[in-house]
Amino acid sequence: MKNTIRPPVKIDKEERVIREPGVRAHRWRLNVPASITGRKKERKFFTSEADAKEYASGLLEALDDAGNNFIARLKERGMSVTEALEYALRNSPRTSPLSLQKACEHFVASRKEANCKERYMANLNSQLKAIKEEFGDVMIDEISKPKLEVFLKGLTGKDGDTPATPKTRINFIITLTALFNFAVEEGWRGENPASRINRPEKDEVATGILTPDEVKKLLAEGRKPAHAEVFPALVIQLFAGPRRSEIPHIEWEWIRDRYLRLEKTKVRKKRAVEISETLLEWLAPFRGRTGRVFSPEDIEFNANDTRNIEDAYANRLLRVAEGAKVALPRNVLRHTAITYRDAFTGDLAGSASWAGNSPEVIAEHYRGAATKDDAIKFYKLGPKSIDHA
């Protein structure tokens, strides 16, 4: 016996059937019999008669194509025919799919239109290059979750031999998720295969900070004439905690009264950083200066891409650290500033606002990394304490 579905009927706002031909429908109702759903009779509602008829036609075609075993197979999976059709409609491309290469081009263009930062665009292009090399010119809707997992397992470090770190894999998963979300939004595929990939757990690494004795050695070395170019930025980062990417933008005019007002930050939100008495003492000889705090003459400044300035800053810091015989891991000055500030004040929310972070980040990564006694020693390291050392 051939499967049939009765034509949809007009209903009003109270879901009563409208029998008068000239009366406009509020919605259209389609009754799907149990013989088709494989469970029980279902009622579906549509905004137009055409949509209702298209849905009914799709159900009947699915049954005709699948044969008598279709319903039985769906029952094994705990799914009705209508659920199967809705899943297919929800997860199938709405437009003609295109290649991964073209999808990446459109995705990059959309990020540029969104005014994403140069640094983000550089990282994005680097990751997309690896993704395109892996999958070639395959169509965007042919890439599955297992294929993505194989790609992620094969990632290596910069040396090309050692496996990529969990953090690197997580960063790639974030990019893949964003790329396939974009593909779904554009209608090139129906679902995002990256959204169901489990992210690896990152190894817990204790926040590294400088001890008060190490800070004292660093300041003693840094104030020497040979390091005059970098020393103001060094003490600002050590006691006020701006990010390394924020250092190239800081201008002397941003230091007013007891605040460093960061006009350009990583998250594009201006931040006022209260300056401690210790930092005020270190900055006193530089009052009256104008322009950028760290401005190496041999490097051109580009406000949209400051990586060359950041590299120069890191190299200058390395020279200070070598002279002081103090290890200076990446970001240790900012970590030191935040840790001692929180240990000294005990103000979690205040420390978060001061550092441009969330209270959760401060609690997880900084709280407890130093004692209040250590913080007191840290804030006593003004110019006079170094003079008398």
Q: Which DSSP helix (H) or strand (E) runs through 344?
A: helix 332-345
The answer to whether residue 4 sits within a structural domain is no
CA distance linking residue 293 with residue 240, whole number of Å: 14
Same domain for 378 and 283, yes or no, is yes
Give me the torsion for CA of 288, 292, 293, 295, rounded to 10°: -130
Report for 13-27, 135-149, 267-281, 338-352: range of highest mean pLDDT: 338-352
Average pLDDT over residues 300-304: 83
CA distance linking residue 156 with residue 176, whole number of Å: 17
The answer to whether residue 2 sits within a structural domain is no
Least confident of 1-5, 18-22, 70-74, 209-213: 70-74
> How many domains, in total, are found in the chain?
3
Q: What is the CATH number of the domain that holds 255?
A: 1.10.443.10
Same domain for 351 and 270, yes or no, is yes
CA distance linking residue 238 with residue 210, whole number of Å: 10
Query: Is 90 exceeded by the pLDDT of residue 299?
Result: no
Query: Is 60 exceeded by the pLDDT of residue 1?
Result: no
Query: Is 70 exceeded by the pLDDT of residue 71?
Result: no
CB 272 within 8 A of CB 240: no
Q: Are strands 271-274 and 9-11 parallel, antiparallel or unpaired?
A: unpaired
Tell me the percentage of the chain whose pLDDT exceeds 70.
Answer: 87
Query: Is 70 exceeded by the pLDDT of residue 186?
Result: yes
Same domain for 248 and 335, yes or no, is yes
Closest listed residue to residue 318, CA positions, set 234, 243, 225, 220: 234
pLDDT digits (tens, 9 = 90+) for 254-265: 998 899 999 888
Mean pLDDT of the chain: 85
3-class SS of residue 229: coil
pLDDT digits (tens, 9 = 90+) for 312-355: 999 999 999 999 999 888 789 999 999 999 999 999 999 999 99
The answer to whether residue 352 sits within a structural domain is yes
Q: How far is CA 40 from CA 32, 37, 374, in A?
A: 9, 6, 71
For residue 9, what pLDDT band results from cuts at 50, 70 and 90? very high
The answer to whether residue 201 sits within a structural domain is no
Same domain for 164 and 184, yes or no, is yes
Same domain for 77 and 110, yes or no, is no
CA distance linking residue 118 with residue 116, whole number of Å: 7
Same domain for 287 and 235, yes or no, is yes
The answer to whether residue 3 sits within a structural domain is no
3-class SS of residue 99: strand
Query: Is 60 exceeded by the pLDDT of residue 281?
Result: yes
Same domain for 149 and 257, yes or no, is no
Query: Is 80 exceeded by the pLDDT of residue 66?
Result: no
For residue 103, what pLDDT band results from cuts at 50, 70 and 90? very high
Q: What are 292's strand-pairing partners?
A: 251
With 0-12 CB in 10 A as exposed, 13-18 as middle and 19+ as buried, what is 248? Answer: buried
Residue where a domain terminates, one of 131, 164, 196: 196
The answer to whether residue 207 sits within a structural domain is no
Taking the model in full, what pTM does it have? 0.58
Print the domain residue range for 48: 9-91
Query: What pLDDT shows up at residue 67?
Result: 53
CA distance linking residue 77 with residue 251, whole number of Å: 64
Q: Give helix 69-76 / helix 81-91 axis angle, nearest 10°.
A: 80
Average pLDDT over residues 284-293: 92
pLDDT digits (tens, 9 = 90+) for 121-171: 888 999 999 999 888 878 888 888 888 988 888 888 776 667 788 888 999
Residue where a domain terminates, one of 91, 115, 149: 91
Same domain for 50 and 129, yes or no, is no
Same domain for 144 and 217, yes or no, is no
Query: What pLDDT shows up at residue 378?
Result: 96
CA distance linking residue 262 with residue 368, whole number of Å: 27
Q: What are 28's strand-pairing partners?
A: 10, 46
Same domain for 236 and 306, yes or no, is yes
Same domain for 341 and 277, yes or no, is yes
Q: What is the CATH number of the domain that holds 158?
A: 1.10.150.130
Torsions phi, psi of 105, nearest 5?
-60, -45
CA distance linking residue 250 with residue 355, whole number of Å: 15
3-class SS of residue 292: strand
Residue where a domain terminates, one of 146, 169, 196: 196
Same domain for 252 and 304, yes or no, is yes
245, HSE (Cβ side, Cα atoms, 13 Å): 12
